Amino acid sequence: MVDRRRFITTASLAAAAAMANARGANGKGTTRRSGTPDRSRVWRIGTPPSIANLQLVMRDTPTPAADEVLVRVAASSINARDRGIVAGFFPIGANKASIPLSEGAGEVIAVGANVSRIKVGDRVASCHFPRWVTGRWSPDVYENDIGNTLDGWLGEKVILPESGIVVLPKEISYESAATLASSGVTAWHALFEIARLRPGQTVLTLGTGGVSTIGLQLAKAAGARVVVTSSRDDKIARMRELGADVGVNYRTTPAWGDRVRELTGGVDVVLENVGRPTLDESMNACAPGATIVMIGTGPLPKELPKMPGFYQKNLWLKAISNGSRQMFEDLLGGMVTMKIQPVIERRFAFDEAIAAFREMEAGDHVGKVLIRHG
Ligand X SMILES: NC(=O)c1ccc[n+]([C@@H]2O[C@H](COP(=O)([O-])OP(=O)(O)OC[C@H]3O[C@@H](n4cnc5c(N)ncnc54)[C@H](OP(=O)(O)O)[C@@H]3O)[C@@H](O)[C@H]2O)c1
**Residue nearer to ligand X on the CB measure, 163 or 212:** 212
Residue 277 CA, chain-centre distance (Å), reads 22
Closest alpha carbon to 287 in 303, 271, 309: 309
> CA nearest 116: which of 16, 26, 25, 18?
26
Contact between 297 and ligand X per CB under 6 A: yes
R_g over Cα of the chain: 21
| Binding-residue pattern over the window 264 to 283 for ligand X, x denoting contact by CB under 6 A | ---------xx---x-----
Q: How far is CA 340 from the centre of its chain?
A: 16
Segment near ligand X (CB under 6 A), from 58-66, 114-122, 170-178, 292-300? 292-300
What distance in Å separates the CA atoms of residue 124 and residue 41, rounded to the nearest whole number? 20
Tell me how long the chain is: 374
Rounded to the nearest 5 percent, the helix, strand and coil shares of the chain are 30, 25, 45
Stretch that binds ligand X, among 52-60, 112-120, 230-238, 331-339 (CB under 6 A): 230-238
Asked if 260 is part of the footprint of ligand X (rule: CB under 6 A), the reply reads no
322 touches ligand X by CB under 6 A: yes
163 binds ligand X (CB under 6 A): no
Q: Which is nearer to ligand X, 54 or 248 (CB)?
A: 248
Residue closer to ligand X by CB (options 79, 284) is 79
Q: Which of 265, 288, 363, 374 is close enough to bind ligand X by CB under 6 A?
A: 363
**Cis, peptide link before residue 62, omega less than 30° from 0:** no
The amino acid that residue 219 corresponds to is: A
The stretch near ligand X (CB under 6 A) out of 63-71, 139-147, 181-189, 304-312 is 181-189
Of 208, 282, 284, 291, the residue at the interface with ligand X (CB under 6 A) is 208
Q: Which is nearer to ligand X, 16 or 227 (CB)?
A: 227
| Strands 225-230 and 157-161, bridge-based pairing | unpaired
Shortest spacing between CB 221 and ligand X, in angstroms: 18
Q: What is the pattern of x (binds ligand X, CB under 6 A) and - over residues 95-134?
A: ----------------------------------------
- DSSP letter for each residue of 201-244: -EEEEESSSHHHHHHHHHHHHTT-EEEEEES-HHHHHHHHHTT-
Q: Under the criterion CB under 6 A, does residue 231 sit at the interface with ligand X?
A: yes
Chain contacts with ligand X (rule: CB under 6 A): 79-81, 182-183, 186, 206-212, 229-232, 235, 250, 273-274, 278, 295-297, 320-322, 360, 363
